Chain A
């Protein structure tokens, strides 16, 4: 009996302060992350308008989402197209920039700072700037540039076929400097001796790049691609600021509708909070799968 009561007390005396010090983080973590996560899973099985109590309806939200909801299918298609294009182009340009400007001379440093600038600029300000640049009037910067090349003014933001390309352009423009910085870091971990050895074996510039640089940059590439994919799946501001119409979040004909904007639209414009939670869980599963791929690739690389 005595040992039973003594053990916890002793344990408390020994670790009490430790648990107390963990408490602020763990309390906030549990209250605003773990519990909401579980709660959103529950809500995804309910009909919930935010006023009346949630009404359990099983898998109905997911069934509707995956089989009946054309807008969601459209949002998924747009998102995948956008993600693949922006990450693909962005990663290639990041690598190119890193190869071009990895030196320590001041022109290289200035170039790196210029390309990195959007990463530290207010993203809403940048989105408003793009909206102004793509102004449909002939005085907009994009349309002025069109006239220089003999073109005509274009309704950039009201042409459905241009929506995804413009979103990709904004994403690549804003993100390639970040990838470049990661690639520069990766390049600088490659020992110079490897290149010397390759040269002695008669390898030209291209062969050195193919046989030395690229393979050794593989962990960086994995990191840039996976974090890029995860970030791109969560795109919201570009759609909300640049393409949102008066009563439609996705722009003309939903041409810019994506997962998170649709989540916002269903949850906080139409107050279908249960349905929005189901969308949130689809997003969660996509990103979780990507993270797992990231872990697996990382582990596989370590075993090489």
Chain B
């Protein structure tokens, strides 16, 4: 259901070492540095918003709307996460609820992190399992109709998923799946781009490996589980990065199916925060929520960067 890449996803590692020197010439001469200068300056505009977010998170309420603003928090505080001085009966303009105190749900913001985690893990594991099964059959079984099925699935990658938004909403409502985990998970499991990628990957795996297992008497399910899945590991790892990032940040579908605060994922909770609490004094807590939303996906990316295959796999560009 998420922001599925419309064409083959590109597995990329921005920090990976390229094969050879840059093509632009100039190299590391003074002229090269001069030519790069605008881009070094541009990188400051990349860092500045992140820095602004980071310092906002640690500013006390009274420092948030000061002019001129402080660029290093003068009285750094964790109150934007949890404010021990806040009391619902005594209004104190210097003390507002931290992000974990804003919602009247168990565990506060932790509840949304838990929801996002459950949904992301379930969709990632589930979609990889069903797609790998189908990809195995399509590439290694000579079943009649497999070409047609594959063609249909590939063609579906040209469909913007928003086209299915209204009918899927009606289906969820009729099934009673609005505001449930299965409403998040089940419609998101069949991912065409994952199947497409796994099929391409399996084409390069020699049939002999599977034939040998068949001769040894292994059943098809066992071959899938014990031979195909381990063989697919690099492809599954690469795809899981795309799925995890997309599902962790998924917004429009959750926005439509979630009704209670309890079932919100992090993006929906943040959007609600944005409409419940306007005003500068709330931005510390909102940015704290944004930080909690972003850190796991950044950390996940940095941790699994090496699985992005060495260098860059560009399936779309070889043609």
Chain A residues engaging chain B, CB cutoff 8 angstroms: 11, 15, 17-19, 21-22, 24-26, 28-29, 31-37, 39-40, 43, 50, 93, 96-97, 99-105, 108-118, 120-126, 128-133, 135, 137-139, 141, 144, 147, 173, 177, 180-182, 184-190, 192, 195, 205, 208-209, 212-213, 219-220, 223, 226-227, 230-231, 233-234, 236-237, 240-241, 260, 263-264, 267-268, 273, 276-277, 280-281, 283-284, 287-288, 291-292, 294, 298, 301-302
Contacts and interface: CB of A to CB of B under 8 A. Distances in A.
A37 B156 CA distance: 10
Main secondary structure of the interface of B (DSSP, over half): helix
A188 B56 CA distance: 40
A40 B7 contact: no
B206 interface: no
B218 to A, nearest CB: 12
B151 interface: no
Nearest to A237: B251
A22 B221 CA distance: 12
Interface of B: 1, 3, 5-7, 10, 12-15, 17-26, 28, 35-36, 39-40, 42-43, 45-50, 52-53, 56, 64-69, 129-131, 133-134, 136-138, 141, 143-144, 149, 152-153, 156-160, 162-171, 173, 186-187, 189-190, 192, 195, 219-221, 224, 245, 248-249, 251-252, 255-256, 266-267, 270-271, 274, 280, 283, 286-287, 289-291, 293-294, 297-298, 300-301, 311-312, 314, 316-317, 319
Given A113-B15, A287-B6, A125 B316 contact: no
A230 to B, nearest CB: 5
The 7 closest A-B pairs by CB, nearest first: A125-B290, A36-B167, A28-B190, A25-B134, A36-B164, A122-B293, A104-B17
Contacts of B190: 25-26, 28-29, 32-33
Contacts of B187: 28, 32
B46 A115 contact: yes
A2 B233 CA distance: 46
Given A173-B46, A182-B12, A209 B24 contact: yes
A36 B56 CA distance: 43
Nearest to A103: B22
Contact of A141 (B52, B134, B152): B52
A17 B221 contact: yes
B319 A25 contact: no
A240 B248 CA distance: 18
Contacts of B42: 93, 97
Contacts of A132: 52-53, 56, 283, 286-287
B287 A128 contact: yes
Contacts of A190: 23
A22 B133 contact: yes
Contacts of A19: 143
A223 B316 contact: yes
Contacts of A36: 163-164, 167-168, 171
A280 B165 contact: yes
